[in-house]
Amino acid sequence: MSDGADITTMNMIQAINSALDVCMARDDTIVVTGEDVGYFGGVFKATESLQRKYGKTRVFDTPINECGIIGVAVGMATYGLRPVPEIQFADYIYPALDQIVSEAARLRYRSAGEYTAPITVRSPFGGGIFGGQTHSQSPEGIFTHVAGLKTVIPSNPYDAKGLLIAAIEDNDPVIFFEPKRIYNGPFDGHYDRPVTPWAKHPSARVPTGHYRVPLGQAAVVRPGEDVTILAYGTMVHVAAGVIAESGVDAELIDLRTLVPLDIETIERSVKKTGRCIVVHEATKTSGFGAELSTLVQEHCFHSLEAPVVRVTGWDTPYPHSLEWAYFPGPVRLAQAIARVMEE
């Protein structure tokens, strides 16, 4: 819900910057930290101008030490601040796992509710920019496994701003992954084609003021009767492009948040269509698609007319030169749709 401010066109980077700006203006306990987030404004410019506006005590650069970044954020949260640390790329988040998993996620439980960790960890994730093995990973499945964490992945500017505001105002730690392939615009599902600017996309019309998109509420991007496709982040655009060319009346659901998960929307859709495809960039084995497939089977078994199909990244280290082949792109998703419709 918006505070009645004007609406303008934004790409995802601008929407994230606007969310941080709006939150910091409303609440002086919010601080932004991370590598290059201050003077430089972040490697993708998501924090541009915030230091000039709010000062070096609220927007400040850190050493190249992810464990330290999150450790300091946990301490700040314990003492009443709402830190929003940025991990420059999701591939760099692993040194911070101990602080995220053992400290931030456990603090409310370990203290019997006396302390909380209202931390929002922002990080660009996923591929599509030829970043290679150290700038392209999708580690969301690691964090959805951790009790006490929430995991959020937007697919468009409107959701990015509203979800980020909701995450920052939440009293528990949130992992906020930003799909960098669509920072500057959507595309038709073909990774190797140029990004299309957000200018004409309806979800790029973003209120300039404060509003929230509730965590745990999926969006039905396209209603349909034949098959349910579950996606999030960049894969929403891949799926939309394939559906447009497939001739199949597919229902496309953008999960938006993986934890908490909107299982009610998923259940309604699959019971209607009788078929389900899950698509994500991350590797297949133990990926979040496995959890989704199990939940669909548990909730919708008697409605299924075909096995649940997963279309994912391959179980290999990230290949730089074969990036387009690694991703679950249009060809593999179209084949999955054809296969599930034949069952």
Active site residues per annotation = 135
Taking the C-alpha atoms of 178, 184, 186 and 188 in order, what is their torsion angle to the nearest 10 degrees? -120
What are the angstrom distances between the C-alpha of 104 and each of 42, 72, 115, 189?
A: 24, 11, 10, 36
Is there a contact between 251 and 269 (Cβ–Cβ < 8 Å)? Answer: yes
Helices (H), ranges, the chain: 12-26, 50-54, 66-78, 97, 107-110, 140-144, 157-168, 234-246, 263-273, 288-300, 323-326, 330-342
Q: Which two tokens stand for residue 331?
A: 């060809």
Asked whether the beta carbons of 216 and 264 are under 8 A apart, the reply is no
- Measured between alpha carbons, how far is 209 from 174 in angstroms, rounded to an integer? 22
Query: What single DSSP character describes residue 335?
Result: H
Neighbouring CB atoms inside 10 A of 326's CB total 20
| Residue pair 138/280 in contact by the 8 Å Cβ criterion | yes
Distance, in Å, from the CA atom of 313 to the CA atom of 291, rounded to the nearest integer, reads: 16
Joined together, the tokens standing for residue 222 give 């396209």
Q: How far apart are CA 270 and CA 302, in angstroms?
A: 10
Under 8 Å between Cβ of 159 and 264: no
143, 221, 226, 263 from 258: Cα distances, Å: 10, 16, 24, 10
